[in-house]
Homo-oligomer: A and B are copies of this chain.
Amino acid sequence: MQAIPIFLILSLLLSSSYAAVQDFCVGDLSGPDTPSGYTCKKKVTVSDFVYSGLGAAGNTSNIIKAAVTPAFADQFPGVNGLDISLARLDLAPSGVVPLHTHPGGSEVLIVAQGTICAGFISSANAVYFKNLNKGDIMVFPKGLLHFQINSGGSPALAFVSFSSSRPGLQITDFALFANDLPTEIINKVTFLDVAQIKKLKGVLGGTG
C-alpha cells in the first residue's frame, strides 16, 4: 500500500461534495423554534456537547426542601433533536418533588445518594410506589402523575433521564394554584373546597 495516493481517498471516495451532514443539531436558542426542536447552530465545538450545570447541588433551602436542575435542550442545546435529556434532583431530609407529569416523555430515575420513595399512578388509577436505595432505578412511563419523597434521614440525590430533549414539567399544584385560574373553576374541576383552594393560592402566589 503506497502512501501518497491514499492520502487522497477522502476526497476521491466521495465523488460529490459532502460537506453537509446531520449527525446532530445543536440548538441555536436565538433562532426560530420548530415542532422538531430549535434550528441548528452552524459551528460547534466540544463545549456544545458538554454541560456542567448538574455538577452543583440545587438550593433546597425552601419549603419543599427540594430542587430540580434541568439539562433540557433549553439549558443544554447539545441534546436538541436527540430525544434525550437529563435533570438533577436534590432532596434535603423530608424533601419532596410534588406530584407532577412530563407531558413530553418517559423518565428513568437513578438514586445516587440516600433513600427516595418514588411512585406513579396509571390511567387505571393503580398506584405503584416503592422505597428506592442508592443504585436503584425506576421508570415513570410517559405523561403519568408521579412524585419523589426523601424517605431517609439524610440528603438524597438522584439523576433522571428523559426520552425527549424537552420533556416539560407540569407540577399539579403550580398548575392549579400558582396562576390566575379562577377559584370557582378549580372548585368545579377538582372538587376541592374553596377554602383549601384559597389557602394554596395564598401559599403558591396564585390569584383569582
Contacts and interface: CB of A to CB of B under 8 A. Distances in A.
A179 B127 contact: yes
Nearest to A45: B128
Interface string A72-104: 001110111111111000000000111101111
Given A13-B66, A34-B40, A98-B190, A83 B204 contact: no
Contacts of A191: 1, 6, 98, 173, 200, 203
Contacts of A81: 34-36
A154 interface: no
A172 B192 CA distance: 11
Interface residues of A, number: 145
Contacts of A29: 20
B178 A125 contact: yes
Given A62-B5, A161-B108, A103 B144 contact: yes
Contact of A23 (B36, B105, B141, B185): B141
Contact of A36 (B35, B128, B174): B35
A147 B172 CA distance: 13
Contacts of A173: 190-191
Interface string A137-165: 11111111101010000000001011100
A29 B104 CA distance: 24
Nearest to A5: B63
Contact of A54 (B61, B137, B161, B196): B137
Nearest to A20: B74
Nearest to A162: B84
A79 B120 CA distance: 14
13 contacts: A6-B191, A19-B124, A20-B33, A23-B104, A23-B143, A35-B81, A49-B138, A54-B135, A82-B139, A99-B189, A103-B141, A127-B180, A192-B196
Top 7 nearest A-B pairs (CB, nearest first) are A55-B135, A103-B143, A35-B81, A161-B161, A36-B36, A15-B58, A32-B39
